[in-house]
């Protein structure tokens, strides 16, 4: 079906409709009200940091507040202060990601998340007593920073491999010292996974109470497949089945064969009626060797092989979601990844959708932002968007094409990409881009131009600004 055909889809994706309904309902309370601030938490336990979703900056959980009250992992005073601002109709500065999307007239993640059943079901309870402690139903947790990769936009707080490199070779020569302690959130080094961690201890104390309310539980990293706590969660769920639980794990799928096989065996058991659904999140930003360049240590062919293996061997009621963090290195070859995703949908989605993706935009480090790219790259994304529109799902075939809200999210990303920035700021970020990846190539025996030949002109422009400083 081609864009503009008289038989174009005249129905809306349920996901998009839920977000639109949520917007109307939220606005009856406040133009900044977001249910995720109450019902969702993202915990980074190696450093004792917390946020609601992954967009706002992390903030510290005072360890002393956890004594006899492990739920303080979620209900921090800082979060309560933000909730109060939202109920007053004020827009917290930490939520700029959504405010920018909404200023462009787009639905934001505030609407999408608040429209999900795990959040919307407690609307009246929250409005009735917004300052009460509340148990989240959507929890993301990082137990430690053990990781076998060094993704270019990551840091030692989230990767032990980055930590080793920082200790061995020091920080990168950018204007903001990337991968140096002064760049870390709260200037906090992660607690090594070999040591006792009071935040992890508090989590496991909280876990039985939390488990009763849980509907979505997601383990991130680091690399969760390398973490003993991942399998501790699996064992608990196998012993205490929860028919309404959506269990999710984010992975680079690049661990050893032994770990991968162990993990896959666990997932197969979990998908025999122990939970409602298992979602495998896969972290990958583009296709092939370019994906490997962004994620140092990644074997893309192995990742793609394991994607197929998962979809072939894990029973129904399991899915894969590709997390495509949109950055300035993901754009030029993104079409190949989208083509791969479409082919997976056609191959493995029979009675329900098993292959998903999301395109959140990268905001830090700023030198890897899409906003630095010039008009040809905007045109590239627009061509991908048009191709997605030409391959939309139909009312008679709901599982093999793209969804309308997926196209809208990419449109949103393109709008964000085109937001005007000051020339001096952009030039400084381009200089840092060149400094970072020149040093990265040296340390990792890589070659930017050989990997991204189509970006040579842009690279030389970044080089100009770096050398003119």
Claim to verify: residue 337 and residue 303 sit in the same structural domain: yes
Residue 42 · residue 140 · CB < 8 Å: yes
Distance (Å, rounded) from C-alpha 144 to C-alpha 260?
18
Q: Tokens 């915990």 appear where?
A: 43
Claim to verify: residue 361 and residue 394 sit in the same structural domain: yes
Residue 216 · residue 118 · CB < 8 Å: yes
Claim to verify: residue 170 and residue 114 sit in the same structural domain: no
Claim to verify: residue 132 and residue 207 sit in the same structural domain: no
Secondary structure (3-state) at 39: helix
Distance (Å, rounded) from C-alpha 368 to C-alpha 327?
6
Centroid of chain to Cα 209: 26
Centroid of chain to Cα 307: 18
Domain count along the chain: 2
In which region does residue 105 sit, left (phi positive, over 0), alpha (psi from -120 to 50) or beta (all else)?
A: left
Contacts of 267 (CB under 8 A, 6+ apart): 278, 280, 310, 314, 318
Instruction: Give the phi and the psi of residue 395 in degrees, each rounded to 5.
Output: -60, -30
At 129, list the tokens. 């007593």
Range of the domain at 54: 24-141
**Is residue 278 in a domain?**
yes
Claim to verify: residue 101 and residue 238 sit in the same structural domain: no
At 196, list the tokens. 């006792």
Claim to verify: residue 214 and residue 128 sit in the same structural domain: no
H-run or E-run covering 79: helix 77-87
**Is residue 153 in a domain?**
no
Read off the pTM: 0.89
H-run or E-run covering 205: helix 198-213
Beta strands 318-323 and 355-358 are: parallel
18-57 pLDDT, tens digit each: 888 999 999 999 999 999 999 999 999 998 999 888 788 8
Claim to verify: residue 124 and residue 214 sit in the same structural domain: no
Instruction: Give the phi and the psi of residue 365 in degrees, each rounded to 5.
Output: -65, 145
H-run or E-run covering 382: helix 375-389
Contacts of 352 (CB under 8 A, 6+ apart): 316, 399
Claim to verify: residue 355 and residue 291 sit in the same structural domain: yes
Buried b (16+ CB within 10 A) or exposed e, 45-67: bbbbbbbbbebbebbebeeebbe
Secondary structure (3-state) at 41: strand
Q: Tokens 């999301």 appear where?
A: 358
Claim to verify: residue 353 and residue 432 sit in the same structural domain: yes
Residue 352, pLDDT score: 83
Residue 5, pLDDT score: 35
In which region does residue 12 sit, left (phi positive, over 0), alpha (psi from -120 to 50) or beta (all else)?
A: beta
| pLDDT tens sequence for the chain (469 residues) | 233 333 333 334 555 688 889 999 999 999 999 999 999 999 999 989 998 887 888 889 999 999 989 999 999 999 999 999 999 999 999 999 899 889 988 889 999 899 999 999 999 999 999 988 999 999 999 999 999 999 999 988 889 999 899 889 988 989 876 666 555 555 567 887 778 999 999 999 999 999 999 999 999 989 999 999 999 999 999 999 999 999 999 999 999 999 999 999 999 999 999 999 999 999 999 999 999 999 999 999 999 999 999 999 998 789 999 999 999 999 999 999 999 999 999 999 888 889 999 999 998 899 999 999 999 999 999 999 999 999 999 888 878 899 998 999 999 999 999 998 999 999 999 999 999 999 999 999 999 999 999 999 999 999 999 999 7
If you ran DSSP here, which 8-state letter would residue 73 be given?
G
Rounded to whole angstroms, what are the CA distances from 321 to 311, 345, 353, 422?
Answer: 11, 11, 10, 35
Distance (Å, rounded) from C-alpha 452 to C-alpha 469?
25
Claim to verify: residue 347 and residue 268 sit in the same structural domain: yes
Helices (H), 240-274: 257-270
**Is residue 134 in a domain?**
yes
Residue 85 · residue 8 · CB < 8 Å: no
Q: Tokens 């000051």 appear where?
A: 422
**Is residue 183 in a domain?**
no
**Is residue 101 in a domain?**
yes
**Is residue 283 in a domain?**
yes
Distance (Å, rounded) from C-alpha 334 to C-alpha 353?
21
Query: Which CATH number covers residue 214?
Result: 3.80.30.10
Claim to verify: residue 254 and residue 300 sit in the same structural domain: yes
**Is residue 127 in a domain?**
yes
**Is residue 356 in a domain?**
yes
Claim to verify: residue 170 and residue 116 sit in the same structural domain: no
176-235 pLDDT, tens digit each: 766 665 555 555 678 877 789 999 999 999 999 999 999 999 999 899 999 999 999 999
Q: CA torsion, points 77, 78, 80, 83, in degrees to nearest 10?
A: 180
Rounded to whole angstroms, what are the CA distances from 2 to 7, 335, 338?
Answer: 9, 18, 18
143: nearest Cα among 88, 30, 225? 225
Distance (Å, rounded) from C-alpha 463 to C-alpha 431?
6
Residue 166, pLDDT score: 86
């Amino acid at each position: 079906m081609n864009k503009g055909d008289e038989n174009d889809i005249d129905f809306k994706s349920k996901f998009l409709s839920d977000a639109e309904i949520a917007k109307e309902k939220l606005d009856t309370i406040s133009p900044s009200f977001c249910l995720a601030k109450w019902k969702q938490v993202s915990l980074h336990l190696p450093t004792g940091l917390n946020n609601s979703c992954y967009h706002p900056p992390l903030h510290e959980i005072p360890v002393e507040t956890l004594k006899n009250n492990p739920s303080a992992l979620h209900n921090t005073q800082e979060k309560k202060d933000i909730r109060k601002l939202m109920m007053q109709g004020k827009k917290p500065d930490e939520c700029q990601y959504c405010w920018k999307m909404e200023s462009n007239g787009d639905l934001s993640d505030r609407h999408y998340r608040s429209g999900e059943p795990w959040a919307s079901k407690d609307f009246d309870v929250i409005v009735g007593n917004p300052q009460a402690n509340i148990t989240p139903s959507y929890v993301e947790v990082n137990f430690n920073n053990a990781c076998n990769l060094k993704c270019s936009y990551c840091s030692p707080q989230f990767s032990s491999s980055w930590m080793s490199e920082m200790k061995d070779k020091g920080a990168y020569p950018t204007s903001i010292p990337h991968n140096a302690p002064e760049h870390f959130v709260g200037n906090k080094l992660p607690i090594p996974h070999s040591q006792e961690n009071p935040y992890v201890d508090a989590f496991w104390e909280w876990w039985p109470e939390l488990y009763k309310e849980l509907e979505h539980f997601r383990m991130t990293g680091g690399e969760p497949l390398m973490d003993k706590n991942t399998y501790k969660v699996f064992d608990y769920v196998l012993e205490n089945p929860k028919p309404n639980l959506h269990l999710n794990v984010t992975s680079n799928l690049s661990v050893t064969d032994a770990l991968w096989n162990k993990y896959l065996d666990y997932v197969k058991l979990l998908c025999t009626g122990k939970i409602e659904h298992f979602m495998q999140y896969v972290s990958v930003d583009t296709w092939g060797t370019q994906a490997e360049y962004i994620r140092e240590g990644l074997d893309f062919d192995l990742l793609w092989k394991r994607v197929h293996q998962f979809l072939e061997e894990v029973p129904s009621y399991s899915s894969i979601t590709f997390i495509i963090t949109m950055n300035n290195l993901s754009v030029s070859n993104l079409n190949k990844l989208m083509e791969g995703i479409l082919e997976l949908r056609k191959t493995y989605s029979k009675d329900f959708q098993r292959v998903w993706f999301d395109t959140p935009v990268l905001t830090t480090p700023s030198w890897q932002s899409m906003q630095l790219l010039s008009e040809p790259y905007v045109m590239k994304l627009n061509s991908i968007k048009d191709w997605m529109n030409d391959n939309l799902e139909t009312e008679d075939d709901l599982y093999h094409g793209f969804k309308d809200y997926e196209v809208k999210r990419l449109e949103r990303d393109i709008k964000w990409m085109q937001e005007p920035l000051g020339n001096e700021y952009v030039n400084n970020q381009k200089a840092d881009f060149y400094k970072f990846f020149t040093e990265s190539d040296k340390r990792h025996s890589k070659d930017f131009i050989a990997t991204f030949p189509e970006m040579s002109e842009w690279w030389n422009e970044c080089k100009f600004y770096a050398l003119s400083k």
